[in-house]
Structure 1
Amino acid sequence: MDQILDYIEGGPKLRKWYGAPEILPKDASIVEEDDQLEEEEEVRDAVLVTDGDSEIGQMVILSLIVKRTRVKALVKDKRAALEAFGTYVESMSGDASDRPFLKRALRGVRTIICPNEGFLSNVGGLKGVQHVILLSQLSAYRGAGGVQALMKSNARKLAEQDESMLRTSGIPYTIIRAGSLQSTPGGQQGFSFEEGSAARGNLSKEDAAFICVEAVEAVPQRGFMFEVINGDEKVSDWQNRLANLMEKADQQLQ
């Protein structure tokens, strides 16, 4: 997974796997978005990954590609993303708080996956979006103490703002409250969804990315949140498990 995620190696490997043509260097005028294109009505079938340059963002993107999902991504380095993912990802660079840029970024987008905090609290409306998935470490931040608590204070504030924005947005949302994210191999451990577990447990970054992608098709009527860490429970059917978690969340609200 580490080699696949490497920007230098990722592009050639993905193109070899799926038969896409090699991407030749383009000049900046071609690579940059044509701001003069008129907005057209599109089918909303894309998944937008925010913070696509991040480690977890790249993992999410790769998992979506494997599922042959139409992927858009917000990145800092558009050329590097082009080299990494080729034609499988529509990468965009810009200020998400800028309304015209955000409008272009959301064109054709059905679902947003936020692998890190800070995006939702920085944008205005998300017109047309039908589902937002937020990977939140708020419980882990709140469970931190001492120096770690000081180091994570800003991230905690952003996570709180992101969750608050989602709850009042009116858009169906899924908040995945993960434990402390670790750079350990995914797919080798089970899980625990016990309430309060995220404040004291850990979760593999690869597993976190996988769960984000599985949540794309599990759209709640309104919104729900669940906690998850690595544990003993083996999950063979994620759609069924997520449906059970939604049902449990609905019962708690009644």
Structure 2
Amino acid sequence: MDLVMPSTFYLFNSSSTPSFLPPKPTKSSIPSSPLTRLRNPPLWLCYASKKPSFVDQILDYIEGGPKLRKWYGAPELLPKDGSIAEEEDETADVDEARDAVLVTDGDSDIGQMVILSLIVKRIRVKALVKDRRAALEAFGTYVESLTGDASNKAFLNKAMKGVRAIICPNEGFSSKVGNLQGVEHVVLLSQLSVYEGADGIQALMTSNARKLAEQDESMLVASGIPYTIIRTGSLQNTPGGAQGFSFQEGSAAKGSLSKEDAAFICVEALGLVPETGFIIEVVNGEEKVSDWKQKLTELMGKKEKGQE
């Protein structure tokens, strides 16, 4: 079934409005946990609107998946007892085309937003999650959800099968797995600048995260795999697309960035593979970006020129 995004309807919660005359909905903010919303859907009514938000569109589409399967007599994705049978690796000895993007920490807010963006772009998605059942109920067959220890060689081999690129929305993956042979590009969202700028109690609280972030960056630099490290300011639960950006050196230590904007930039960075490595800093600011490929190319060129 092709992914067709609605363009003229806005879905809103009927419990908060009179059924006979619902008020015109306002633009909703990005939910803090898309998977929570998918697992516990409220009752929705249709109401005309100019343009629903991006996350609302894709969530509404995915929420309709289980209903459509039931109406058309398709089999349930989960057994009646609610259990998840482990899939047999029938293609263990078969070479698989590398056309998938692996999202690590797919349960996190940013991980979920990255997954939704990749689905919209019709990119094959694999995701490492802690709760595979919840991910299966939420994303259905759009995402191949995997649960296991990334440091386990057998599990990692299964997770990496068919993967051409990796997006790491949180620290800890690169330093854990070590070998990423065959991967063409790794995009790492890093808050190392924030951790380095912390002091006092905050420094103690983030010491482990800082260590993981340092190890992740070091492993990528030494891996020989093309990588893009996106160093952000502190990540905020604010709607994306409402602010501009700043790419000034040193801005990540003091600034902040919307989680939705962070997820969007990670997905956009996939389209520009550096020859070796590329590190940028980004926070919300005044500069508007209409063409991210052009902007990233410009930033990459400045980095290369500065290293000469």
Q: Same fold (TM over 0.5)?
A: yes
How many residue pairs align between the two structures?
254
Asked if residue 189 in structure 1 is aligned to residue 249 in structure 2, the reply is no
Corresponding residue number in structure 1 for 2:105 = 51
Instruction: Quote the offset at 1:15 in angstroms.
Output: 5.0
Stretch moving more, 108-117 or 144-153: 144-153
SS of the equivalent of 1:217 reads: coil
Stretch moving more, 117-126 or 230-239: 117-126
- Overall identity of the aligned pairs, in %: 66
Asked if residue 150 in structure 1 is aligned to residue 198 in structure 2, the reply is no
2:34–2:112: 8 Å Cα contact kept in structure 1?
no
Structure 1 pair 149–20 and aligned structure 2 pair: CA distance change class (3 A)? farther
Asked if residue 247 in structure 1 is aligned to residue 301 in structure 2, the reply is yes
Larger Rg: 2
SS of the equivalent of 2:148 reads: coil
Corresponding residue number in structure 1 for 2:93 = 39
SS of the equivalent of 1:33 reads: coil
Whole-angstrom distance in 2 between the partners of 1:122 and 1:28: 32
TM-score, normalized by length of structure 2? 0.78
| Larger RCO (CA within 8 A; separation ≥ 6) | 1
2:100–2:164: 8 Å Cα contact kept in structure 1?
yes
Unaligned stretches of 5+ in structure 2?
Answer: 1-29, 42-57, 71-75
Corresponding residue number in structure 2 for 1:225 = 279
Stretch moving more, 144-153 or 72-81: 144-153
Corresponding residue number in structure 1 for 2:64 = 16
TM-score, normalized by length of structure 1? 0.94
Corresponding residue number in structure 1 for 2:78 = 25
Kindly provide the amino acid, as one letter, of the partner of residue 173 in structure 1.
Answer: Y
Out of 169, 179, 183, the residue aligned to residue 125 of structure 1 is 179
SS of the equivalent of 2:223 reads: coil
Q: Deviations over 1:92-128 (max 9, x none)?
A: 0111001111111011101000000001111131121
Instruction: Quote the offset at 1:31 in angstroms.
Output: 3.4
Q: After TM superposition, where is structure 1 displaced by more than 3 Å over at least 4 residues in a row?
A: 9-13, 17-24, 27-31
SS of the equivalent of 1:228 reads: strand
Whole-angstrom distance in 2 between the partners of 1:20 and 1:120: 38
Asked if residue 177 in structure 1 is aligned to residue 231 in structure 2, the reply is yes
Corresponding residue number in structure 2 for 1:99 = 153
Instruction: Quote the offset at 1:149 in angstroms.
Output: 1.1
2:84–2:133: 8 Å Cα contact kept in structure 1?
no
2:62–2:139: 8 Å Cα contact kept in structure 1?
yes
Unaligned stretches of 5+ in structure 1?
Answer: none
Select the structure that is richer in helix.
1
1:137–1:178: 8 Å Cα contact kept in structure 2?
yes
